[in-house]
């Protein structure tokens, strides 16, 4: 019997109806609400940082990042998606045993063989579906990928409860054994500063992003702790930074940045959203 992870946040983070979800995605991809910054001409892109809030808040920024990804990587065969564990349940770092992950746009095939291969290179990645059952950070990336790539890709989802540098470096080291930059992409799911003023969020996030763009993992973690930046998916970001550095990518570049305040007009307690592409130019 086929095993399927059900969609946990359809109807809350994004619409539960297929037609409504497609319509919203069309709107997000065509909208000019999120501004795209000037980017270098990349010779290769291997991944993105993408936000994971409700689509009405972060979807504009997410769509800009995925659009850039699609323009450089028109048909990846696999997406490795890393997200933080918001609920604090299950294994410290986990992938899935499920053969498919469901969304209103259909079922996404999981690369079970790829996960088995990955586990051979890691002592800290477990198979634990409980970690994933109600977590939204990976799930909300799937409709964007389905909208752009249809059904012609598989996923390896990795949920990180432990995100300190040691764990990020270990996950990156394991992934480097299976990652193929010619056919794979990486999506690191993260929002940035949470529930601070617009000015504070912008200042903290721009400083942290400057380290991300330089692939400076040590500086990234120092900034995270010294400035108390409440980016929730810092571990997944550090994994993508480390892989990029090991593959001799030039760095990363911010595609688009907004806050929840830019969407709803309340600038007292905002959340920051950024799309960042990683590659060589």
What are the tokens at 150? 């249809």
Q: What is the pLDDT of residues 232-268, one digit of tens each?
A: 999 999 999 999 999 999 999 999 999 999 999 999 9
Please give the CATH architecture assigned to the domain spanning 45-280: 3-Layer(aba) Sandwich (3.40)
Please report the DSSP string for 235-250 in residue order.
Answer: HHHHHHHHHHHHTT--
Q: What is the pLDDT of residues 77-125, one digit of tens each?
A: 999 999 999 999 999 999 999 999 999 999 999 999 999 999 999 999 9
pTM: 0.98
Q: What is the pLDDT of residues 26-79, one digit of tens each?
A: 999 999 999 999 999 999 999 999 999 999 999 999 999 999 999 999 999 999
Q: What is the pLDDT of residues 169-207, one digit of tens each?
A: 999 999 999 999 999 999 999 999 999 999 999 999 999
Domain ranges within the chain, ordered by starting residue? 45-280
Within 8 A by CB and 6+ apart from 8, the residues are 133, 134, 135, 136, 139
pLDDT for position 1: 79
């Amino acid at each position: 019997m086929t095993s399927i992870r059900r969609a946990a946040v359809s109807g809350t983070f994004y619409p539960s109806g297929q037609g409504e979800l497609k319509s919203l995605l069309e709107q997000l991809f065509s909208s000019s609400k999120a501004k795209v910054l000037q980017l270098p001409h990349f010779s290769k892109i291997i991944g993105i940082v993408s936000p994971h809030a409700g689509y009405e808040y972060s979807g504009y920024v997410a769509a800009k990042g995925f659009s850039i990804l699609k323009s450089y990587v028109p048909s990846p065969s696999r997406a490795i998606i890393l997200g933080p564990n918001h609920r604090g349940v299950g294994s410290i770092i986990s992938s899935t045993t499920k053969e498919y992950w469901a969304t209103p746009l259909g079922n996404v095939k999981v690369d079970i063989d790829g996960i088995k291969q990955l586990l051979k290179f890691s002592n800290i990645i477990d198979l634990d579906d409980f970690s994933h059952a109600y977590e939204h950070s990976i799930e909300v990336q799937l409709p964007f990928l389905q909208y752009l790539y249809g059904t012609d890709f598989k996923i390896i989802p990795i949920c990180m409860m432990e995100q300190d540098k040691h764990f990020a470096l270990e996950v990156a080291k394991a992934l480097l054994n299976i990652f193929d930059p010619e056919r794979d992409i990486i999506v690191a799911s993260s929002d940035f500063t949470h529930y601070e003023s617009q000015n504070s969020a912008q200042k903290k996030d721009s400083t942290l992003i400057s380290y991300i763009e330089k692939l400076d993992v040590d500086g990234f973690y120092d900034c995270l702790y010294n400035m108390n930046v409440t980016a929730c998916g810092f571990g997944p970001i550090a994994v993508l930074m480390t892989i990029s550095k090991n593959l001799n990518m030039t760095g990363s570049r911010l595609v688009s940045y907004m806050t929840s305040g830019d969407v709803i007009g309340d600038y007292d307690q905002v959340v920051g959203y950024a799309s960042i592409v990683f590659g060589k130019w």
